[in-house]
Structure 1
Amino acid sequence: MFTGTLGFLSNFDETPFFVPRLRRQVASGEHAFNALKTLDPAEQNHVLGAPDPGESKRRGRRVTLRPGWNTGMRVWAMQRVLTAKFAVPDLNQRLVATDDRMLVETNGWHDQFWGSCFCPKHERIPGTNMLGELLMAIRAHSR
């Protein structure tokens, strides 16, 4: 989990930003990511209209997934979300200020793809940490 001084890295951070693919401002990265799961404009609007990131995630679980979602499209979508989010100058400066720190999205909910779970079952098996890897790539590109 990205919390404390690194809370801005979380998709649950509520700093609004503009997402070109959606042609609109979003309330959080979670809103944008879940809206990009579908090609249906009504479903996108339903997700984007959620009052908070948690609700957008819940709504995103019920959308019609775009073709290829589980074979690369979800990483493509997250790249679009993070690129748009860290185009915000303040957020970009804060990301660059993490220097060479290893950014790991730790969690306790068994997500070994976007992060690295620290539950007893997974604590000795590092996750893929795709979110952290994408953040570090954007940071490297921003320098």
Structure 2
Amino acid sequence: MAITNFRGDYKFLSNFFKCEIEYEDDVYPSVEHAFQAAKTINENERKRILSNKNPVIAKRIGRKVKLRSDWEEVKYNIMYQLVLQKFKNNELSRLLLDTGNNEIIEENKWHDKYWGKCICKKCNGDGKNNLGLILQKVRDEIDEKSG
């Protein structure tokens, strides 16, 4: 059975889930905050993201920052490192392991075909699902270490 929504029992899979994430000497309240801050090298833009506790607002701010020149090349690895850091927390790693071998799919309706799969009528499930694949990779790595 695939896990397709990051709410309810699976809200911990969401990048909006509250957990401390360190990125370049700052501690952010979620993976989403740290990821949005990583998009820019501008300290003022990063501070603006950090100062807002709501991950929805952090994402909104992150859409308007001046992107670092290498963003397209580094964004996957940054997301992987942030998600890996999140699941170093024992409770969260246990919850992730409890998902078993289920496929994890970041379904959305906002046409994000890079991090997820868009399930709107037009896109019909099209997408790379990179966030889901990263979560599965991190789960496998935790399982190898604990096994």
Structure 1 unaligned blocks of 5 or more: none
| 5+ residue gaps, structure 2 | none
Residues in 2 aligned to 1:84 and 1:55: alpha-carbon distance in whole angstroms: 22
1:11 aligns to 2:12 (yes or no) = no
- TM-fit CA distance, 1:138: 0.3
Counterpart CA distance in 2 for 1:2 and 1:82 is 14
Match of 1:142 in 2: 142
Alignment deviations for residues 115-135 of structure 1 (CA, whole Å, 9 cap, x no partner): 011100111x53100000001
Q: Tell me if structure 2 keeps the 8 A contact 1:17–1:84.
A: no
Provide the rounded CA distance (Å) in 1 between the counterparts of 2:83 and 2:96.
11
CA distance in 2, matches of 1:12, 1:35: 14
Residues 21, 31 of structure 2: 8 Å contact kept = no
Provide the rounded CA distance (Å) in 1 between the counterparts of 2:24 and 2:95. 25
For the aligned residue pairs, the C-alpha RMSD in angstroms reads: 1.3
Give the total of aligned pairs.
139
Contact 2:6 2:12 in 1 (8 A): yes
Q: CA deviation at 1:83?
A: 1.4
Aligned-residue sequence identity (percent) comes to 35
Query: What amino acid does structure 2 have at the position aligned with 1:121?
Result: K
Q: Secondary structure at the match of 1:12?
A: coil
